[in-house]
Structure 1
Amino acid sequence: MFGQPIIMRSWKTYSLLLIGLVLAVGLGLTLLGLALRNFLIEFWWFESLGYAFYFWQRLLYRYLVFAGGVGLFFALFFANFWIGSKYLGAPRPSETASEANRNHPSPRLYRRFQTRSLVFYLPLTLTLAVIVALPLFFYWEEALLFLLAPEAGIQDPVFGHDIRFYLFSLPFFRLLYTEVMLALGVVLLGLGLLYGLEHRVMPRARGGWRRGARLHLSLILLLLILMGSVYFLGDAYMLLYTDAHLPLFYGPGYEEMTVTLPLIGGAALLGLIAGALLLMVLNTGKGKRLFAGTSLLLLAVIGLRHTPYLKERVGEFVVEPAEMTRETPFIEHNIQATLAAYGLQAVETRTYPIHEEGWEKITPEISLSLRNIPIWDDDKLLPVYRELQEIQPYYAFDRVSVGRYEVEETYRQVFLAARHIDLEKLGEARQTWVNLWLRYTHGYGVVMTPAAQPADEPIEWLIQGIPPESVAGLSVDQPAIYYGPTDLHPVMAPNATHELDYAASGETKLADYAGSGGVPVSSLFRRLVFSLYFGERNILYTTQMTDASRLLFRRDIRERIKTLTPDLMLGPEPYLALANGRLYWIQDAMTASKWYPYAKAYDGDVQHFERPFNYIRNSIKVVVDAYNGSVDYYLADPSDPIAAAQARLYPGLFKPLDAMPPALKQHLRYPKSLFDVQMDLYTRYHQTDPETFYNQEDAWERPPDQWREDLERMRSHYLTLNLIDPDRFEYSLFAPMTPLGQPNMRALAVAGNDGESYGRIIVYRFPKGALVYGPEQVNAFIKQDPEISQELSLWSEKGLHVMHGRLIVVPVEGVVTYIQGIFLRTASASPLPQLAQIIVSQGPLVVMASSLEEGFRALHKLIKETREQEPVQKVPPRDEPPEVTQAPQGAAAS
């Protein structure tokens, strides 16, 4: 009877203790998760990708650099302030201790301040050091690249430094200079206040500042004077980035090298002299007039440097009368630097022999060349893919990639696109937590069509449908797409609900994710952290988790790459590749800088680039597995100093390009964005002779695109031709060039993509005197053709919207042919573009047919008829400048 209440009280006590313990543990875990959620999520995510060591590298590097900066500035502040505090109240050399006590108003107060100065100066100097060193916390990588960057092997023509100095050292020195100047200024101000306060409160018989105080302040002032001379040195280096001579050339010219640079040197010398005289005046009181005169002379020199008067007079009376002679070496510096900065110094030039009479017949080589002409383009093909191949309402095609594949033992250029999941198409009622996080987790399959399509036949599909059906050799063994270039919702897979794999033909197939992507969420603590990170309590409460469940997030491949390597500049868009039955995304990553000396900054179409630059390389190829989400970096250009420096900083991050699987490597392509940048620069900088460059005698331009509203100039396009090597067909980039202000075509630039030809740029010049019609002229011929105009008008009258495809330049067997698709679109709710006709043109001879073969037969018939009649009146070529002699490069194409 007496024991039962005691037992009950014990159970109540234990229960309360147990509940309290559980609550305390839960509260502790919640607080820990809140405090460390971002750090833990980042670490788990990096670890899941195999980059745990790289994660710790980036974290420790940042804090090591910051700690080094804090330590440096802390030592500077503490040493000076501690010495200053110890010196306060110290007796003069001529004073005895009793005299010092009599002169000191409150010796106990000063002794107490001296003995306890650490209490005040230690936190003060540490705070100041943290504030001054803070930029190093954000620019830590620049500091380490400055230490690890290799030599580039190229010297600037003015100061003789290796390019490494400008890409890595100069930007870091500018940052460090600002911090050191700020630190020295704080030290001088602090010491001045200390010694000034002491001088004011302690009466002195002689009335002057202590000698030690004057020496201490003079030392800091001397350091500031020396840093001032360093400023002038940096000002001299910045001359290499002047744009004062644009649009003629970029970089310093005669005035800068003969007027501005000597003025900068004179200002640096006068600054040192004026500083020395200032120290003499402050310590001895002598030399005031000399100091004043030197200071006035320094101000005059600085004024001449920063005012245009002297430069303009030199330009007017010295440069303008003989501008070509004066500016020749500087123009040459700009040309060579720009070609090197944009990777154009190894461009080959060849002469393309024109067969003016046209083809006599379509040979097998010509037929093979025409097999891969991309009549469709991605803008026209994307609506077709969406209309015919999305199949289910929650699938979507976001973009169309272009590539090349061996199809039934034939090398063919193709278009392909991935079918990704689009949860917004589910409708609001179906966008439940289960559907978003557990059920609709991935896209499914890929579609592929040949680049060349006839207008009189249905579209040929190489891969289509759900599940994907393909021709031999193009099987898709893993069609599930969990990662892509779109904003994809985080998902948890596998799970007890099971995922929708695909639904087609009345069949719904479920699946369980078996890949290595995502972060494991098997423990309760991880689920708690993820719940706090995403603000989704159901992650913690759901009962659909399994021991194998993983949380897949950051599924946008560009976000994944930028999170891993934020300093790489990504190309406009990744492209899809099918290799060994698996789907991969390939992203071109650029290394870029705005610090290449004498190189012109790119000022063209910069909408696809993240920052300005005057140096760029496509040094890194990034491969992302569409199923696993793995991210692999491959070093494509080991000669790039920026990529080489990053490889030294992060050993193992970049794999050699030879380590890429061969089946995947064959799908690499030279990026259009980079090639367009290069060709925009090359239109002027192919003129390597300074006199020709000065007069712009052979300047080119990109021809206007007549059929597209969003582009002012024609962009490059991919073609599969045997133009680089006559013995084999290669996947290549093409860009036509016309003379500046003239419509006829002057040159055709080609960039290789296959094997050893990758990155090889060849510019075919057309012979002087041979008229090669440019895209603008061919567009005029097409519009003026009465039969074509009548046919297009009839379609328009029937309510059909006529769309012109990309105008493609096809040089084959000495004949330059233009090919363009004509597409029709109705005004219905589903405006599906349809290829109606194909235009084939050789100069003013234009035909329209339902297929390329029919078009060329009709064109040959027209050519034969015109030979029997009076020759077609051709537009005479405009006067052209004489041929510029180039260094012999490559062999002429046959």
Structure 2
Amino acid sequence: MKDIRIVFFLILALFIGIGPLAGIYTEYLWFEMIGYTSIFTTILQWKLLTIIPGFILAFIFLYINARFARDSISKILAKENISYEKLDSQAVLIAILLFSFIFGLVFSGNWKTILLYLNSTTFGLSDPILMNDIGFYVFQLPFFHLIRGVFFWLTVISLVMVFLLYLYRLEPVFGSETVEIEDDEGFYQFDQGGTFKEIMDNLPEKVLIHISALLAFLLVLFAAGFFLNRYEILFSQQGVVAGAGYTDVHVRLPIYNILTILSFLTSIVLLANVKMKNIKIPVASIALIAIFILASSFAPGVYQQFKVEPTEVQLEKPYLEYNINYTRMAYGLSNVEERSFEANSDLTFAELQNNSQITDNIRIWDRRALEQTYKQLQQIRTYYTFNDVDTDRYHMDEGYKQYMISARELDIMQLAPEAKTWVNERLVYTHGFGVVMNPVSTKTNDGRPEFVLKDIPPVGDFNVTNPRIYYGEITSDYKIADSGKEEFDYPRGGQNVFTQYEGKSGILLDSFAKRAIFAFTFSEIKFILSEYMNDDSRLMYHRQITERAQTIAPFLEYDSDPYPVISDGKIYWIIDAYTTADKYPYSESYYDSRFYNINYIRNSVKVVVDAYDGTVDFYMMENEPVVDTYSKIFPGLFKPFSEMPEGLQKHIRYPKDFFKVQMDLYENYHMKDAETFYNKEDAWEIPKEVYRGGSIDMEPYYMITKLPNGGGLEYVLLQPFTPRNRENMIAWIAARCDEPNYGELKHYELPKGELIYGPTQIESRIDQDPDISEQLTLWGQTGSRVIRGNLLVVPIGNSILYTEPIFISAEESEIPELRRVVASSGQKVVMDETLQASLQMLVDGRIDTEEGTTGQTEVPTSARELAQQALDHYNTAQQYLADGDWAGYGEEINRMEETLNQLSQVLEESNGNTTA
């Protein structure tokens, strides 16, 4: 079998060259190693097979036209008794063969369009105008455009080719007259061509037939183009309607119908004119087509302005309804469950007590600030790094808990310059090591995260039996494992621990031929020369996890934020993958930096990558038409979600990229009434929040909560909304992440008749609070930087809680420390060192008597007075400091210390009495 493959690749090398063949062979080895050979062979087979019809079609089309032109020229010149030199048929044949091969290669680039057409699946839903199934537009229409385009360009190329041949070879036949002109230097002669009528009269019949047939076929293709353009109006993004509007249906559609018929009739006229030889007939027909094409460019605009716009709402209403309904279906918004949320502006102690599991999981760590903290505290060595910090949840003995998590990956760019050798970079430093985790809602006294998993080797509450990370988010370079050189594992004290790879990932370099091929592929002779290379060595590349998945399934779109998961002692990556389309009738097109010009999207696939052995599994989340079609094309690619290990199923989450697309559209498409939608009376927008002194869009965020009337604790992705150009909050949307409710969207509408503070208003209230503002200003003046983290809107019972962490970071060496947490119920804004302390302040200073009880005690009045005195001393000290009075500043600080000591004693006595 191996010999047959070698012979096959040698034969293939004769056609495509050594370089491309080496790439094909190495990719084949990679797909074979990872277990997806059928995907590779299917794609390669169709890329090669589609060269054949493209080549044959181009060759036959061009050869027949060249042969007919050559024979016609020979007969015409022989009939006119004009001596001539025969065309070099061999040269023409070679030129046609070469062009046809290039054309076939270009045609093969459309393998995906062809496969989607051949395996198309119905959506079970028809468009409202032309009554075709949506699958026709998504899978079949692009194929019809492709075929029409192929014949169109072949016809144009053939026309140019035969025209030049006839013009060059039959110049003596077209007729000319000699004209003599006298000037100062004497007489000279030149040939003056005849008039167009004379040329037409002298034009040989064979030439006329040939060119007329090509022009007629070109007109048929124009007719086909106009016919297909009828369908394209359903994707129009002009006017107030995404999709065909009133003018499109009543003006553009009839014009395309007329142009289709006219173009077809003109093609017949061109053929008939071979006998009539009346130039006026085809010219008139083509002029009529040009008039209708010109009309199609301005008539719809005139009709829109004078007919539609005066009564636009009434005329466009049914088309607006189509746009609303089909857009909601295309983006997965048609089943959003809408409910009212009667928000209580006064958060109560009872609500906090009854929802302690929610408050215990409120995230106070901003991932951007925490990433810097991780790097400073847990990077350990310069060659390690954390790409980003993710949020996930775990079922622990003490309950459902949310954590921040990040993988410690290897970054060889940070190696010392003298250590950057090929052996070190490729054979020794091969993998990252471990993950770091901390609860989202707690911190140490000095403002650092309370790690539940840290250090190297990892220690903490989670058992990670294999912490090695060969495949990650920043692993873009190739490595050679299990070579004759031991791999660096992790640092321990003043020494290093080494290891050898024990997995099955990587291509075995078990022959000189393989090492030579990869030396050629990676332009690295050391594959052959290095003494560390042996038959057990494994070459690992495509190690960046998104690139790895994309190499296997390039027809899917991938989420920008993969996240690590610990399951059964191993580290896995989960990547969300999407199926998209841009031919969904009446759906609004979406553009951003992540997705370009789509109007249909589904989160159909979850991709799981093993961080150690690099295995990639694709799990299908739903049976939707696009992924079902790819399942037909690649039968072994997708596994049902039920086959995903149970430990990983608990960590799937609704992806942010998908949710952002939905929420960007939901700003307008939550309005179902056509007139309201037209007037944008209830348009929403994403709120703003403050970060590093600027205003940015508020990101959706994950949280553990209880949805109103939704049952127990669950993991959700939440996005608040404000009315457009207003700052009060109008609604919040939650995407459910846990089975069996995964993927459900809940829309909670706030009362429109009362003020519910929005995030921007809460940010303003924080700025306006004199005590908080003074403290933040003070911190920002002493060589430090104040970082305000994510403002979260947290539904608690029937109320809404707002929280925002405050970080302090040195300007030089940035290690953000979490110093305060702001909490607000809307009516009141407070700030304290911890979230729990801020919540206690928010509900009038009441605190729990002991953990696990529901009782409460009031803070003694004397303690309140002492606290106020301490604050007064502090404020006076700050005034002295501003005036440069250091003596006065010191006295007030001493008095504040005495008062705080008294306060501490009072609180201890109060706690003792309560315990008794």
For Structure 1 versus Structure 2, the TM-score category normalised by the shorter chain is 0.7 to 0.9
Distance 2:790 2:557 in 1: 28
Q: Which residue number in structure 2 is paired with residue 623 of structure 1?
A: 608
1:179 aligned to 2:150?
A: yes
1:698 aligned to 2:690?
A: no
1:652 aligned to 2:646?
A: no
Aligned-partner SS, 1:297: helix
Q: Which residue number in structure 2 is paired with residue 886 of structure 1?
A: none
Q: Which residue number in structure 2 is paired with residue 224 of structure 1?
A: 218
Distance 2:20 2:740 in 1: 52
C-alpha contact (below 8 Å) 2:266/2:286 kept by paired residues = yes
Q: Which residue number in structure 2 is paired with residue 380 of structure 1?
A: 369
Q: Which residue number in structure 2 is paired with residue 633 of structure 1?
A: 618
Shift of 1:303: 1.4
Distance 1:861 1:193 in 2: 93
Q: Measured at CA, do residues 771 and 221 of structure 1 come closer, stay the same or move farther in structure 2, by a change above 3 Å?
A: same
C-alpha root-mean-square deviation of aligned residues, in Å? 2.9
Aligned-partner SS, 1:164: helix
1:465 aligned to 2:449?
A: no
Q: Which residue number in structure 1 is paired with residue 122 of structure 2?
A: 151
1:855 aligned to 2:838?
A: yes
Distance 1:536 1:302 in 2: 59
Q: Which of the residues 227, 235, 238 maps onto 2:232?
A: 238
Shift of 1:271: 2.7
* Letter matched to residue 723 of structure 2: P
Q: Which residue number in structure 2 is paired with residue 597 of structure 1?
A: 585
Q: Measured at CA, do residues 290 and 223 of structure 1 come closer, stay the same or move farther in structure 2, by a change above 3 Å?
A: closer
Q: Which of the residues 582, 594, 618 maps onto 1:608?
A: 594
Q: Which of the residues 557, 580, 592 maps onto 2:568?
A: 580
Distance 1:219 1:294 in 2: 16
C-alpha contact (below 8 Å) 2:120/2:135 kept by paired residues = yes
Q: Which residue number in structure 1 is paired with residue 326 of structure 2?
A: 337
Q: Which residue number in structure 2 is paired with residue 681 of structure 1?
A: 665
Q: Which residue number in structure 2 is paired with residue 97 of structure 1?
A: none
Aligned-partner SS, 2:609: strand
Shifted more, 802-811 versus 424-433: the winner is 424-433
Q: Deviations over 1:677-705 (max 9, x none)?
A: 10010010111110111111211111112
Q: Measured at CA, do residues 35 and 264 of structure 1 come closer, stay the same or move farther in structure 2, by a change above 3 Å?
A: closer
Q: Which residue number in structure 2 is paired with residue 268 of structure 1?
A: 260
Q: Which of the residues 60, 64, 87 maps onto 1:75?
A: 60
Report 1:30-429 matches (<5 A): 36-82=21-67, 85=70, 119=90, 122-191=93-162, 214-245=208-239, 248-286=240-278, 289=280, 291-307=282-298, 310-362=299-351, 364-429=353-418
Q: Which residue number in structure 1 is paired with residue 712 of structure 2?
A: 728
* Letter matched to residue 590 of structure 1: Y
C-alpha contact (below 8 Å) 1:455/1:850 kept by paired residues = no
Report 1:484-523 matches (<5 A): 484-523=472-511
* Letter matched to residue 831 of structure 2: M
* Letter matched to residue 65 of structure 1: T
C-alpha contact (below 8 Å) 2:366/2:805 kept by paired residues = no
Shift of 1:771: 2.5
Distance 2:693 2:115 in 1: 46
Q: Deviations over 1:491-515 (max 9, x none)?
A: 2211222111111234532111001
Shift of 1:796: 2.6
Shifted more, 357-366 versus 721-730: the winner is 357-366
C-alpha contact (below 8 Å) 1:374/1:451 kept by paired residues = yes
Structure 2 unaligned residues grouped into runs of 5+: 1-12, 176-199, 847-856, 859-916
Distance 2:537 2:708 in 1: 51
Report 1:865-884 matches (<5 A): none
Distance 1:145 1:724 in 2: 43
Aligned-partner SS, 1:361: helix
* Letter matched to residue 261 of structure 1: L
* Letter matched to residue 824 of structure 2: S
Distance 2:261 2:315 in 1: 28
Q: Measured at CA, do residues 191 and 462 of structure 1 come closer, stay the same or move farther in structure 2, by a change above 3 Å?
A: same
Q: Measured at CA, do residues 502 and 725 of structure 1 come closer, stay the same or move farther in structure 2, by a change above 3 Å?
A: farther
* Letter matched to residue 813 of structure 1: G
Structure 1 unaligned residues grouped into runs of 5+: 1-27, 92-99, 866-894
Q: Measured at CA, do residues 300 and 90 of structure 1 come closer, stay the same or move farther in structure 2, by a change above 3 Å?
A: closer
Shift of 1:548: 1.9
C-alpha contact (below 8 Å) 2:438/2:452 kept by paired residues = yes
Distance 1:291 1:392 in 2: 80
C-alpha contact (below 8 Å) 1:781/1:844 kept by paired residues = no
Q: Which residue number in structure 2 is paired with residue 558 of structure 1?
A: 546
* Letter matched to residue 800 of structure 1: S
Report 1:684-833 matches (<5 A): 684-707=668-691, 712-723=696-707, 726-827=710-811, 829-833=812-816
Q: Deviations over 1:311-353 (max 9, x none)?
A: 3433333222211101111211211221122111111111112
Distance 1:355 1:72 in 2: 72
Q: Deviations over 1:825-865 (max 9, x none)?
A: 123x4321111111110113011122222222211117999
Aligned-partner SS, 1:375: coil
Distance 2:629 2:74 in 1: 53
Distance 1:423 1:289 in 2: 75
Q: Measured at CA, do residues 583 and 211 of structure 1 come closer, stay the same or move farther in structure 2, by a change above 3 Å?
A: same
1:431 aligned to 2:420?
A: yes
Q: Measured at CA, do residues 329 and 498 of structure 1 come closer, stay the same or move farther in structure 2, by a change above 3 Å?
A: same
What is the TM-score normalised by the length of structure 2?
A: 0.83
Distance 1:842 1:146 in 2: 56
Q: Deviations over 1:281-338 (max 9, x none)?
A: 332135x55555444433322211112xx33433333222211101111211211221
Percent sequence identity is: 34
Q: Measured at CA, do residues 627 and 292 of structure 1 come closer, stay the same or move farther in structure 2, by a change above 3 Å?
A: closer
Distance 2:287 2:541 in 1: 65
Distance 1:102 1:694 in 2: 72
* Letter matched to residue 326 of structure 1: L
Shift of 1:194: 6.1
Distance 2:329 2:396 in 1: 39
Aligned-partner SS, 1:771: coil
* Letter matched to residue 459 of structure 2: E
Distance 1:200 1:317 in 2: 55
Q: Which of the residues 441, 448, 451 maps onto 1:452?
A: 441
Distance 2:477 2:511 in 1: 22
C-alpha contact (below 8 Å) 1:104/1:203 kept by paired residues = no
Shift of 1:797: 3.5
Distance 2:844 2:128 in 1: 59
Aligned-partner SS, 1:652: coil
C-alpha contact (below 8 Å) 2:706/2:714 kept by paired residues = yes
Distance 1:772 1:255 in 2: 42
